Structure 1
Amino acid sequence: MKSFGKPLIIEGQGSFAAGGTIIHEKGTYDESHALSPEGQEKHVDHGYVFYQIPKNARKNALLFLHGAGQSGAGFETTPDGREGFQTLFLRKGYKVYLMDQPRRGRAGSSGIEGKITPTADEALWFDIFRFGHYPHYFQNVQIPQGEEAENQFWRKVTPNTGAFDPKLTASVLSDTVDRAGDTILVTHSQGGSPGWLAAIKNNKIKGIIALEPGVGFVFPEGEVPPPLPSSSPFGALKGVAVPAEDFDRLTKIPILMIFGDNIPETPSPHGGEDNWRVRLKEARLMAETINCHGGDAQVLHLPERGIYGNTHFLFEDKNNEEIAEIMDRWIEEKGLGN
């Protein structure tokens, strides 16, 4: 059993469903035909949120949104049993909200049909997550290794019960923020896309920290860069156009995008690394566009700061406390830490 830090005083904790819709079937319910949907309802497409509020909490909450194939569980405990971002940021005095997005994890009630196929694909994701070249780890990699850590990591993967919908997820994020109050979003990978859209919708979002955002980079209409070709299994990366007045909202809040190690600067035949070469490049283009429009966006590539070995899972890597400290200092520097 891993040892933990000093006891925390939690003044409040709980969970709630955020957003969602209700399917209403026409007709009248008949008990004798209870298996028929006629006249019945179904609550769907909500998010699940677990929260904890420490004693003497700071004003701004942190709302964490996971990436593809993940849930809020990824922020709870690392694969080797150390404290995850949930606890590390509680110790720093933040109210912490963890979301399972609609159609994922504990929010699996989908409003559309889906299909779950048990496909063996962990070698693909091993490479995409930049652990190494399957089955060999990079020499300097920070992700916990060993049979039990690997077992714990892969068992956190959870499927979509319906197609990922960034606009739906953004709406659920916004509903959560309305309940949490002033908030800093912390998004990971696929979660970056609804994060931008939620910040456009809700002015209670005071900043965004995007951990290796992977899809949905936004640009004003007419300023979307050409697609970036890649040897990634997912092909070329394309930006998303939004109205200029929507994009302007992103220039009103500070934004930090953080990327880890083993990302090449030039095209690579290794799809896992090249996948992140174009995403790091697109992140820089998006930040540059935000700043040209008067905003405050920064891309932090950790090796440029002398921090090496980080994977796509910065919050589960062995140096996750160092990453959390970088985030906390940035929040303070931007005047959001009170």
Structure 2
Amino acid sequence: MASMRWERFFVGGAYAGPADAQVMHGQMHVEMLTPDELRHPWPLVFIHGAAQTGVGWITTPDGREGWAPWFAERGWKVCVVDQPARGRSAWRPDLDGGLKSISVSQTENLFTAPEHNPGWPQAELHTQWPGGAGKGRAGDPVFDQFYASQVASLTNPESEILMQAAGAALLDRIGPAVLITHSQAGLFGWLIADARPGLVKGIVALEPAGPPYKDSLFRSGFDREFGLTSLPLTYEPPVTAEAPLEFEQQGGCWLQKGAARRLVHLAGVPTAVVTSEASYHAEYDHCMVAYLHQAGVEAEFIRLADRGIHGNGHMMMLEKNSLDIAACVEEWLIANVGTSAERICKAAPMAPPSSPL
């Protein structure tokens, strides 16, 4: 392993409560890996999704190297966060909202073994979850390790509020960086870039929370009234109470109705949306890319199957071929926010972002 320095600190947060019983609320734990030989200009900030903590970026449930140390060994400074009210970032029951857990059956059906109870057409293609004969299901040691790592978490929009503030505080401390977001954290990438224009040098959104506008999949009760998020984003012309965003279905996707407004703080940020072959996201991530394009964001759509990487589900960074995917992400980073390097993941022709599967 390459030599590197590991640091841990907290950012953000504020004191709250009566004078005789104050606590700190909204702070975020950060684990920073700094290689002795830095070879890339910007740090990478890894932000986990719902029910997760930063541990999913450090190691896989079968004990292999995670993305964070892999990128650090290749010369990237890396920050791994635990969302506020999650993991090593304290949850304050009197100040934060209630927590929600994900069940064993939900975990199996959505993430680790969707091929056994297919809820979407691509689920049967899932082959990459590690483990033995009962892989992906309770009782298999690898699944048990993964499920042991799952934690109760806040739902949106409170998570959006806390993460936008904490993410902005992290960039204020470390300077310009690239955001690597997964799942629920896709919301936070858009919000942090909007809050700190100029400090986000790129976004890699691994199957970001979506589709735009309508939460039609999980029906959480919170539609994304700002298209990508439920919290406000900066559009031009501005969104106001008198002139709200309006949406309509185009080609099976919810997009802006009429003349599209531009996401001014995201438009200049190099962006990639990465989607695996067997995930439920394969049904609608093209809508996310179409929405970004309509709003003036030049997002690249990376379907892993088009790059010769097959069999992955939503938890791609933990699966057997996780480092193949990391290499694809690094190639995109070097080409778009860094310097040139050897082509590792060869691109095949891809369908337009708005096309169906």
Same fold (TM over 0.5): yes
Q: Which moved more, 1:147-156 or 1:184-193?
A: 147-156
The superposition leaves residues 201-252 of structure 1 with CA deviations (integer Å, 9 ceiling, x where unpaired) of 11211000011101485xxxxxx6xx3745x565897562433148211111
RMSD: 2.7
Match of 2:10 in 1: 17
The superposition leaves residues 54-97 of structure 1 with CA deviations (integer Å, 9 ceiling, x where unpaired) of 01212200000000000100001111111000111011100110
Query: Is this contact kept in 1: 2:201–2:337, CA < 8 A?
Result: no
* Whole-angstrom distance in 2 between the partners of 1:337 and 1:251: 21
Q: Assess, with a 3 A threshold, how the Cα gap between structure 1 residues 233 and 244 changes in structure 2: closer, same or farther.
A: closer
Q: Which moved more, 1:244-253 or 1:326-335?
A: 244-253
Match of 2:333 in 1: 331
For the residue of structure 1 that corresponds to 2:278, the secondary structure is coil
Q: What does residue range 177-326 of structure 1 map to in structure 2 within 5 Å? A: 177-202=171-196, 203-215=198-210, 217=212, 227=214, 229-230=216-217, 232=218, 238=224, 240-241=226-227, 242-245=233-236, 247-263=263-279, 273=280, 276-277=281-282, 279-290=284-295, 293=296, 295-326=297-328
Match of 1:80 in 2: 62
Q: Assess, with a 3 A threshold, how the Cα gap between structure 1 residues 216 and 52 changes in structure 2: closer, same or farther.
A: farther
For the residue of structure 2 that corresponds to 1:249, the secondary structure is coil
Q: Which moved more, 1:199-208 or 1:120-129?
A: 120-129
Q: Which moved more, 1:179-188 or 1:129-138?
A: 129-138
The superposition leaves residues 22-55 of structure 1 with CA deviations (integer Å, 9 ceiling, x where unpaired) of 11414xxxxxxxxxxxx23111111110111001
* Whole-angstrom distance in 2 between the partners of 1:40 and 1:235: 34
Query: Is this contact kept in 2: 1:46–1:172, CA < 8 A?
Result: yes
Query: Is this contact kept in 2: 1:123–1:135, CA < 8 A?
Result: no
Q: Assess, with a 3 A threshold, how the Cα gap between structure 1 residues 262 and 239 changes in structure 2: closer, same or farther.
A: farther
Q: Which amino acid aligns with 1:212?
A: E
* Whole-angstrom distance in 2 between the partners of 1:22 and 1:16: 17
Match of 1:33 in 2: none
* Whole-angstrom distance in 2 between the partners of 1:13 and 1:125: 31
Query: Is this contact kept in 1: 2:276–2:282, CA < 8 A?
Result: no
Q: Assess, with a 3 A threshold, how the Cα gap between structure 1 residues 178 and 113 changes in structure 2: closer, same or farther.
A: closer
1:112 paired with 2:95, answer yes
* Whole-angstrom distance in 2 between the partners of 1:130 and 1:299: 24
Q: Assess, with a 3 A threshold, how the Cα gap between structure 1 residues 187 and 298 changes in structure 2: closer, same or farther.
A: same
Q: Which amino acid aligns with 1:244?
A: Y
Structure 1: state its 5+ residue gaps.
Answer: 1-6, 27-38, 218-223, 264-272
Query: Is this contact kept in 2: 1:188–1:211, CA < 8 A?
Result: yes
* Whole-angstrom distance in 1 between the partners of 2:82 and 2:215: 30
The alpha-carbon deviation at position 148 of structure 1 amounts to 1.7
Structure 2: state its 5+ residue gaps.
Answer: 133-139, 228-232, 237-261, 341-357
Query: Is this contact kept in 1: 2:114–2:126, CA < 8 A?
Result: no
Match of 2:77 in 1: 95
Q: Which amino acid aligns with 1:183?
A: A
Query: Is this contact kept in 1: 2:32–2:78, CA < 8 A?
Result: yes
The alpha-carbon deviation at position 192 of structure 1 amounts to 0.6
Q: Assess, with a 3 A threshold, how the Cα gap between structure 1 residues 135 and 155 changes in structure 2: closer, same or farther.
A: farther
Q: Which moved more, 1:233-242 or 1:62-71?
A: 233-242
1:69 paired with 2:48, answer no
For the residue of structure 1 that corresponds to 2:273, the secondary structure is strand
* Whole-angstrom distance in 2 between the partners of 1:299 and 1:173: 24
The alpha-carbon deviation at position 180 of structure 1 amounts to 1.7
Match of 1:165 in 2: 159
Match of 1:4 in 2: none
Q: Which amino acid aligns with 2:309?
A: I
Q: Assess, with a 3 A threshold, how the Cα gap between structure 1 residues 14 and 205 changes in structure 2: closer, same or farther.
A: same
Query: Is this contact kept in 1: 2:289–2:299, CA < 8 A?
Result: no
The alpha-carbon deviation at position 310 of structure 1 amounts to 0.8
Q: Assess, with a 3 A threshold, how the Cα gap between structure 1 residues 316 and 162 changes in structure 2: closer, same or farther.
A: closer
For the residue of structure 2 that corresponds to 1:129, the secondary structure is helix
* Whole-angstrom distance in 1 between the partners of 2:25 and 2:71: 31
Query: Is this contact kept in 2: 1:288–1:297, CA < 8 A?
Result: yes
Match of 2:170 in 1: 176
What percent identity do the matched residue pairs reach?
26
Query: Is this contact kept in 2: 1:105–1:159, CA < 8 A?
Result: no
* Whole-angstrom distance in 1 between the partners of 2:70 and 2:77: 11
